[in-house]
Amino acid sequence: MDGEAMSEAREHQENPEAGEWAEHGPAAREIDQPAPVEGALERAIAVQVRRYRQAIGLTVGDMATRAGISKAMLSKIENAQTSCSLTTLARLAAALDVPVTALFRGADAKREAVFTPAGSGARIVQRGTRVGHDYTLLGALRGPHKRMEAHLVTLTEQSEVFPLFQHPGTELIFMLEGEMVYGHSDASYRMEPGDALQLDGEGVHGPQELVKLPIRFLSVVAYGDIEP
């Protein structure tokens, strides 16, 4: 019996129900912190195995049976708590009907993040800035296949200047404070705190009426594969 098989047998004897928590309820969406000794490869495999398994609707038990390993071992793999042998990786790939290489996706990819402390975002000067229209850049992610920008927009004074916008991609507007009428193409939307509006950026859009000041809303523009 090899080391991996012994580990499976010992785990099953000590806790025969191990892995059951991953099959039902909110726990199925939780991911345990990986053991400190494991690395990026184990974490990547864990993410991909869980993702592919859930995509085809298999429980931990069903997947373990199909791959010929114990539920306890599969639970460890999906939580990056063990290193897989090549034989186990081949079994997992076959059970999921994907190439073995698919289980390594993300292992060597750097994931970008932008943190902007409160009050430190760059102030963007646009038409209307001088009359109480303030745009604060909260962050932007750019890459070969993605680009996203987030702004906190604050409107503090009544004005006849209402900037209009038009751009590639999709925009999400989420109201935080105040009340306004926001126009997009030929439509108008009365927005209050908690309201959200998703729109095609190619349609001309912008505030039409400032109903209750001050107004604050979050604007997130996702360009995707489109170069702005």
Q: What is the pLDDT of residue 202?
A: 86
Residue 165, pLDDT > 80, answer yes
- The stretch 103-122 carries a mean pLDDT of 66
- Would you call 17 helix, strand, or coil by DSSP? coil
Residue 92 has pLDDT above 90, yes or no: yes
For residue 159, the cross-strand partners are: none
35, two tokens: 């053991």
Number of other residues whose CB lies within 10 A of the CB of residue 121: 16
pLDDT at 211: 93
CA distances from 40 to 53, 62, 83, 102, 166 (A): 20, 26, 11, 15, 41
**C-alpha span between 74 and 195 (Å, rounded):** 42
Mean pLDDT of 3-32: 44
pLDDT at 44: 86
Tokens 């970008």, residue?
112
pLDDT in tens, 178-191: 999 999 988 999 99
Per-residue confidence (pLDDT) for residue 142, from 0 to 100: 72
Query: What would the mean pLDDT of 6-20 be, rounded to a whole number?
Result: 46
Residue 91 has pLDDT above 80, yes or no: yes
* Average pLDDT rounded to a whole number, residues 2-8: 50
Q: For residue 20, which phi and psi values (nearest 5 degrees)?
A: -65, -35
Its pTM stands at 0.49
